[in-house]
Chains A and B, each alone.
Chain A
Amino acid sequence: GQQVMQIPQYQHVQEGEDFTTYCNSSTTLSNIQWYKQRPGGHPVFLIQLVKSGEVKKQKRLTFQFGEAKKNSSLHITATQTTDVGTYFCAGRSGGGADGLTFGKGTHLIIQP
């Protein structure tokens, strides 16, 4: 079945440093979504990427979808303590409402 791999599993950064998490799928994806889960909370939808090579920005967050639609990345510029949490990518090979395959997530820990 489809597998979504995400690295790194943990990332410690000093506040103000940049952070990147990478996501790779074993199959071509129709689209990819990113979620953030704060400690003790639940995953919250951030964004969806659909087009090959697509880049989207949300303030300090930049999301990219690879040309082959098999990989994606999330980059945070100048991290803040509010960025703490686990970032998950989730993809599916086809469009529709069926269940997504999630990566294991990247735990972002920020040291002030």
Chain B
Amino acid sequence: EAGVTQFPSHSVIEKGQTVTLRCDPISGHDNLYWYRRVMGKEIKFLLHFVKESKQDESGMPNNRFLAERTGGTYSTLKVQPAELEDSGVYFCASSQDPPPGYNSPLHFGNGTRLTVT
């Protein structure tokens, strides 16, 4: 089966510009997550979709970040306008629904390395 794919792999933009990241989850995975890792720090949760609905967006840093998952398939994460502190690697992950009491393993994409200059 194809894994989680993310596009682009790298993006370099200037402060104030807009960038849109895309994630295609594994087919059949209703759960889609966005995470961000700033260099040397933890992988920080941003938000979680179940199909097209936002289940939890408590990790979104501010209103400059907008995530969508129209139709419950692929997802986009837009940063507008980008700031220097938004630099980092943005990972998308997907999972199946878990058995009761378990967490499903996350299948990560290769990430998008965003550099804001």
* A97 and B31 contacting across the interface, CB-CB below 8 Å: yes
* B103 and A42 contacting across the interface, CB-CB below 8 Å: no
* A100 and B42 contacting across the interface, CB-CB below 8 Å: no
With beta carbons under 8 angstroms apart, the residue of B33, B102, B105 that contacts A45 is B105
The stretch of A11-19, A56-64, A71-79, A101-109 that contacts the partner chain = A101-109
Determine if B106 is an interface residue (Cβ-Cβ < 8 Å): yes
**In chain A, residues 27-69, which have Cβ atoms closer than 8 Å to a Cβ of chain B?**
30-31, 33, 35, 41-45, 48, 50
By the criterion of a CB under 8 Å from any partner CB, how many residues of chain A are at the interface?
27
Known: A45-B106, A99-B48, A99-B56. A31 touches B101 (CB 8 A): yes
Instruction: Point out residues on A near B: beta carbons under 8 Å.
Output: 4, 9, 30-31, 33, 35, 41-45, 48, 50, 88, 90, 92, 95-105
Instruction: Point out residues on B near A: beta carbons under 8 Å.
Output: 30-31, 33, 35, 40-45, 47-48, 50, 55-56, 59, 91, 95, 97-98, 100-111
| Contacts A48-B102, A97-B30, A97-B97 known; 7 new A-B pairs at CB < 8 A | A95-B100, A95-B102, A95-B103, A99-B47, A102-B42, A104-B40, A105-B43
